[in-house]
Amino acid sequence: MHVAKKYKAAAAKVDRHKRYSVDQGVAVLKESAAARAVRFDETVDLAINLGVDPKHADQMVRGAVVLPHGTGKSQKVAVFAKGDKAKEAEAAGADVVGAEDLAKRIEEGFLGFDTVVATPDMMGIVGRLGKVLGPRGLMPNPKVGTVTADVSKAVREAKAGKVEFRVEKAGIVHVPVGKASFPAEKLRDNVNALIEVILKAKPASAKGVYFQAACLSTTMGPGIKLDAAGIASAYR
């Protein structure tokens, strides 16, 4: 079947005027993905529109959550550490560990990792890599637990499926929550875990409706709009 026809078949399963519960949305997403049957395991994303203005520092929404069932992607973790902390990181399963030598490799173009962890004393070295790591969302940050003395915990969490989120300029948070092949209950658990953390991260200065809209989608599939008001009220 032609790609456009597959998309139409999948889109036909989505009621564009309906706002789905998480359970309903995941069920429709699974049906939609099955209708397309693409050759690779699509990533499932959750996009949430928040009633905040990220231009104001006190309305920045940022954090991390360990998804109960991971993302479906094996995470490669780079750790900036020395001595015993470097050994801890290696024992916890870090893919690459180093200090000045690792910084030099990254400056020369090495980017074979998905997450970067650093001990606090390494931030002087890591800071020089801001122009490389920053735009890719890889800069370690204490707010999301990637600048820490407990490197073994940070590595284990990253490997277990920890995802970071940060509100974009337009007030949108966009996070992967699994793969299309995941059973519906695992996708539901991951979506609910992320939503709960984002709702708890509401800035005190945010006025009006905080959780404004939410949409589930796969890499190549149609968007499935969720009942944002109903979901938010369930957590009150």
Q: What is the CATH number of the domain that holds 179?
A: 3.30.190.20
Range of the domain at 138: 77-160
Q: Domain for residue 8, yes or no?
A: no
What's the mean pLDDT in 106-124? 95
pLDDT at 3: 56
Q: Are residues 89 and 19 part of one domain? A: no
Q: Are residues 171 and 64 part of one domain? A: yes
Q: Domain for residue 3, yes or no?
A: no
Q: Are residues 65 and 178 part of one domain? A: yes
> Closest by alpha carbon to 28, among 175, 188, 211, 176?
188
Q: Are residues 178 and 148 part of one domain? A: no
What's the mean pLDDT in 156-174? 91
pLDDT-derived band at 161 (thresholds 50, 70, 90) equals: confident
Domain finish residue from 123, 142, 160: 160
Whether 234 shows a pLDDT value over 50: the answer reads yes
What's the chain's length in residues?
236
Least confident range from 63-67, 83-87, 91-95: namely 63-67
Q: Are residues 118 and 228 part of one domain? A: no
CATH code of residue 144: 3.40.50.790
